[in-house]
A and B are shown apart, each in its own frame.
Chain A
Amino acid sequence: MKNDGPLKSRRRFLGAAAAATAGALATLTGCGKNEVEAFLQHNFRELSKEDLKQVIARLEQDAKRKYGKHITIGNEPALQGVIFGYALDLSRCIGCRRCAKACVKENNPSRDPQIEWIRVLQMNKDEGVDIAHADPYYNPETVPQEGRFYMPVQCHQCRNAPCTKVCPVGATWMERDGMVVVDYNWCIGCRYCMAACPYGARRFNWGEPAIPAEEINPVTHYLGNRPRPKGVVEKCTFCIQRVRKGRYPACVEICPTGSRKFGDLADPKSEIRYILENKRVFIFKEELNTKPKFFYFYGV
């Protein structure tokens, strides 16, 4: 006979008890099995491989029900020895907002109420980077406008991220490859992280996210662009679902001026390292010691 230690028996007992509770709750509350399972789901980082498989299957089922489309939810882990970094050429960006729209197309944020992870700020050349007078709503016939420059802002994937420190439940953290991610099923929607982020990079789902089925991107990642529920925070992940497979983020791929550069900070031969070593680099709000992995530079 198999002899389990006291710890294992207890774990088995608790597991069985949880399953029984789930069954009882489902019967008593009239909630579906999926809702109860979602309620009892653990933090992503505590899920075993088997649990994660079940969670993903359930989430895919839910997404299919909501959008009538099959969505695959990946969970590719961080690549060994890679630290992702990003650089944006302020001297070349013309403020066309193609990045912000490509991001929406790729990352399945709500269309109504509208959520966009990238915000392009228009500022005056005479005044330099002056956030207090920046305009994100500019809409002239053509860009760039005379005397203006453009500064797109998105998550800076800080090494010393204030957002992850203030989260009371540990629903947001930095992955080994440097990506700051959110477990949308663990987030309680308190928005402390939004208050803590000095870059205004996080977005809250105030309403039930609405996305037309034909606009859904079916290739997703658990920690990235899978469909989100109402009441949770989301943000740029450098397109985790793409970059962990070797692709460039959607905003890099679309930029018509080639202002956006992406690569491995740990690789001395990467273009991102070339920029950091050879160009004039500007760290936004450097004085806050957030240590971003998103850099601005002047290529000209």
Chain B
Amino acid sequence: MSIPSLHRFPGRVLRWGWFLAAMACLGAQDIQVPPPPFTEGIFPCTACHDGTNLKVNRQRRELKDMHSDIVLKHGPESRWCLDCHDPLNRDRLHLASGELIPFTVSYELCGQCHGEKLRDWRAGVHGKRTGSWNGQKQYLLCVNCHNPHSPHFQALKPMPPPVTPGSIQRKGGAL
């Protein structure tokens, strides 16, 4: 039995696509996020990447002149800057569809692969939320906790352990 392929129903797919996109936009309006955690002075990217003085170089290579601090440890080896950053408009990211999105809704980009996480994040289950349990809530962007270039959550120094019973001293009659 053949699976009905999408190209047989382009109209329907298109309508559903628009519907889902609209829903996503509506959902996104409720979400309050902090500004993306850019390195100071790095944004707008087009200050350097203006397409005239600095031409687009699509070659995969080790970065030496700028951004040498970035360690790319995200997904397969073949991952490259321009998979997410748009080569023609560096102030934007692009989705797999080619649609440009601002850095403030970068979660849409992350959600292309991590759809389950995006769903949980919208529901307030993945990631940290602050604010009021019965009112307005503030989310964090994915990139506030996960460095997008190396997203594994960084290890932390633990706070001091509680005192052991053995280390409690008796002090003049009272503990």
Residue of B nearest to A253 (CB): B130
Residues on the A chain within 8 Å of B162, using CB:
100, 114, 116, 119, 136-137
The residue that B156 contacts in the complex, of A116, A143, A208, with Cβ under 8 A, is A143
Q: Mark A49-85, 1 if CB is under 8 A from B, else 0.
A: 0000000000000000000000000000000001000
Q: Tell me the chain B residues, 141-167 only, with Cβ under 8 Å from chain A.
A: 145, 153, 155-164
Q: Collect the chain A residues with CB atoms within 8 Å of residue B120's CB.
A: 299
Contact of A139 among B128, B140, B158 (CB under 8 A): B158
Tell whether, in the assembled complex, residue B128 and residue A258 are in contact, meaning their CB atoms are under 8 Å apart.
yes
Give complex CA distance A116, B127 in Å: 25
User: Which residues of B have CB within 8 Å of A275?
Assistant: 125
Set of chain A residues within 8 Å of B168, measured between Cβ atoms: 113-114
Query: Distance (Å) between the CB of A25 and the closest chain B CB?
Result: 25
Q: Mark A243-263, 1 if CB is under 8 A from B, else 0.
A: 100111000010111100111
Question: How far is the CB of B92 from the nearest CB of chain A, in Å?
Answer: 27
Cβ–Cβ contact B158 & A138, under 8 A: yes
Give the residue name and chain of the B residue nearest to A249 (CB).
Answer: B133
User: Beyond A141-B157, A261-B124: 8 further Cβ-contacts under 8 Å?
Assistant: A97-B159, A100-B162, A101-B159, A142-B158, A143-B155, A208-B174, A257-B145, A270-B133
Q: Any chain A CB within 8 A of the CB of B129?
A: yes
Q: Nearest-CB distance from B21 to chain A (Å)?
A: 24
In the docked arrangement, what's the CA distance between A262 and B131, Å? 12
Task: Find out whether the CB atom of B175 lies under 8 angstroms from the CB atom of A113.
Answer: yes
Q: How many A-B pairs fall under 8 Å by CB?
A: 97
Closest approach, in angstroms, between the C-beta of B161 and any C-beta of chain A?
5
User: Nearest 6 CB-CB pairs, A to B?
Assistant: A258-B128, A207-B175, A142-B155, A271-B124, A97-B159, A258-B127
Question: Which residues of A are interface residues toward B (Cβ below 8 A)?
Answer: 82, 94-98, 100-101, 113-114, 116, 119, 136-144, 206-208, 230, 243, 246-248, 253, 255-258, 261-264, 267, 270-271, 274-275, 278-279, 299
Task: Please name all residues of chain B whose beta carbon is closer than 8 Å to the beta carbon of A98 when the two chains form the complex.
Answer: 159
A123–B124 alpha-carbon span in the complex (Å):
27
A144 touches B155 (CB 8 A): yes
Question: Of B124, B130, B133, B156, which contacts A94 at CB under 8 A?
Answer: B156
Q: Which A residues touch B175, using CB under 8 A?
A: 113, 206-207
A261 touches B125 (CB 8 A): yes
Give the docked Cα–Cα distance between A116 and B159 (Å): 13
Question: Would you call the interface of chain B mostly helix, strand, loop, or mixed?
Answer: loop
Q: Check if B132 is an interface residue, CB within 8 A of chain A.
A: yes
B residues in contact with A138, CB < 8 Å: 158, 161
Contact status B132-A95, CB under 8 Å: no
Contact at B161–A96, with CB atoms within 8 Å? no
- Which residues of chain A have C-beta atoms less than 8 A from B164's C-beta? 137
Contact with A along B96-124 (1 / 0, CB 8 A): 00000000000000000000000010011
Shortest Cβ distance from A150 into B: residue: B158
Q: Is B79 in contact with chain A by the CB < 8 A criterion?
A: no
Bound Cα distance from A96 to B135, whole angstroms: 28
Q: Is B134 an interface residue (CB 8 A)?
A: yes
Q: How far is the CA of A230 from the CA of B164 in the complex (A)?
A: 20
Contacts of B163 in A (CB 8 A): 114
Q: Which of A143, A247, A255, A263 contacts B158 (CB 8 A)?
A: A143
Q: A248: which B residues are within 8 A, CB to CB? A: 130-133
Closest B residue by C-beta to A145: B155
